Structure 1
């Protein structure tokens, strides 16, 4: 992706690849045509993303440890971050190298900002008079109204400059002034108190979900039974079902099915209809009953597998 500007996507995989060093795995959970817009603004010590998505989805996000990250809803649609329903004045300060689940139940917009730990520390000390240590685990913050309003206004201005005023943002004095304003707004927001009452339980459940994702990735080409999966994770089935309901909004088996359906859809979109068949793609993703696969696929995505195969890959 270009350093500054906006790109549009109709392919979830292409969109997920646009987040730089952050790895985003999307599992689409609703029917319809996926559309997304990704706006990016790269400054000296800040990298700013605005993400607009047309369908409900589950995102599993792996953040690189070299940077610090904030994520937050944009507008009034709620996001669920590691089982916590965010308000539009909440900010998630992620732990270094964190892996996190974020889901939406409808079309949504959200923001992601990365900054260097060194800049965070020096700016934090200059503004507050004391060092602000990067968190080991995520913190969900609800800043004062004045601080979050200023932060949201600057975020909107930064995205507008990336989209429509690229010549202006290329001027060093403009970029430097915007970055300093953003850094000050971020630090002032991050001194807010946490909003989540039982952080210890939330962090434990987040660790269970990371191990769950690792197990799914490890056994990606194998059929998993729930007893075997729970034994590998070292948690009772009830705990795993509860964590998946909170973090993903679906059961463990439904999530696994949705992942396989999304992988099959990506394969159908990439395939050449002159040489590939629905049956071939279905079998390669462990769907052995073609009729049942077709019904489940249509119910999930709103179109038949054959219609996906015949699509122009660019649409």
Structure 2
């Protein structure tokens, strides 16, 4: 994970791995060359992370249970979709400890994540507002007032600008002051009574999607047997299709294909061009028909598999 600074990435895998605050499986859903940027800052008990991506993607994230996580988008449009719920500018996701969830973007992504130890949140909320704020048992969406949101966004932006200015000095007193202001703004936002919690039906769908991911993780066949998979999950096919449309924006079969194509692209991007071949990598990812693989790959990423491999070779020269 990057330390108090900014880094750029041309690989979705490297970008996802560098997030560090979560285990992230990132699947690009549009063609084009990926560009990602992460800004990281540790300030006292707070960890602040900003992520920017130029392509739409689906992310399946697993948060570590040792910290409380709050995330939000800075896009003015509903580009970030959390558990099938489109977020407005300024909405906050208050995650449960160790939460597993789907997030996707429908355009460029620009988001923040703040994390801190649970005991620090409890202590700060007691001190600042006389109430105890704990991580929820189920993640939900908060809609603070415009004033509270503006203060938090301004402070988080200021913190990230400090991290992005390489070599800029910040005194111990200045860091402590910024930490206090951030904690105060965060607690004020989290104490809002205007919450957009997930409905019972959406929570049921979220549980179905977790079982869906667990089943996919155990599969490697070239084509998804949807009837068998739905029987394993214990839901009607129509229900799974509705859940995938809400959470992923694609059908179950399309998502399965996108996962496999993204992993094949990652393998091509990391392969040694002198010893690897497109056909070998395709077979390793259970694409048995090379022609169909090449067509699907070009449709997903706007280039052929051999072009990806050649680009690796050109970078090495």
Specify the SS of the correspondent of 1:303: coil
Distance in 1 (alpha carbons) for counterparts of 2:281 and 2:198: 44
Aligned position for 1:161:
162
Corresponding residue number in structure 1 for 2:148: 147
The answer to whether the aligner puts 1:129 opposite 2:125 as a matched pair is: no
Which residue of the partner structure matches residue 33 of structure 2? 33
Deviation digits for residues 29-58 of structure 1 (CA, Å, limit 9, x no counterpart)? 000000001000012211001101011100
Change (3 A) 1:13 1:198: closer
Determine helix, strand or coil for the equivalent of 1:41: strand
> Structure 2: 5+ residue runs without aligned partners?
none
| CA distance 1:202–1:167, shift in 2 (3 Å) | same
Q: Contact (CA 8 Å) 2:56, 2:108: kept in 1 or not? A: yes
TM-score by length of 1: 0.95
Query: 2:41 and 2:111 mapped to 1: Cα distance?
Result: 15
Contact 1:298 1:304 in 2 (8 A): yes
Relative to structure 1, the CA distance from residue 246 to residue 309 in structure 2 (aligned partners, 3 Å threshold; closer, same or farther) is: same
Which stretch of the first structure deviates more once superposed, 283-292 or 295-304?
283-292
User: What does residue 260 of structure 1 align with?
Assistant: 260
Deviations 1:221-252 (A, max 9, x none): 67541111111111111111111100000011
Match of 2:9 in 1: 9
Question: How many angstroms does 1:202 deviate by?
Answer: 1.8
Change (3 A) 1:230 1:23: same
Partner of 2:302: 302
Distance 2:135 2:120 in 1: 11
Residues 16, 25 of structure 2: 8 Å contact kept? yes
Counterpart CA distance in 2 for 1:194 and 1:84 is 16
- Decide whether aligned partners of structure 1 residues 165 and 256 sit closer, same or farther in structure 2, where only a CA change above 3 A counts: same
Query: Following the alignment from structure 1 to structure 2, what is the Cα–Cα distance between the partners of residues 269 and 258?
Result: 16
1:89 and 1:261, CA in 2 relative to 1: closer, same or farther beyond 3 A? same
Aligned partner of 1:274 in structure 2 is: 274
| Structure 2 residue 243 is matched with structure 1 residue 243 | yes
Distance in 2 of aligned mates of 1:67 and 1:254: 34
Instruction: Tell me whether 201-210 or 143-152 shows the greater mean CA deviation.
Output: 201-210
Any conservation in 1 of the 2:222–2:288 contact (CA below 8 Å)? no
SS in 1 for 2:7: strand
- Partners of 1:68 and 1:114 within 8 A in 2: yes
1:165: Cα distance to partner?
5.9
Q: How many residues align?
A: 314
Tell me, in whole angstroms, the C-alpha distance in 2 between the residues paired with 1:39 and 1:16: 13
- In the other structure, the counterpart of 1:111 is 112
User: Structure 1 regions of 5+ residues with no counterpart?
Assistant: none
Q: How does 1:50-65 map to 2 (within 5 A)?
A: 50-65=50-65
What is the root-mean-square deviation in Å for CA atoms of aligned residues? 1.6
Range with bigger deviation, 279-288 or 82-91: 279-288
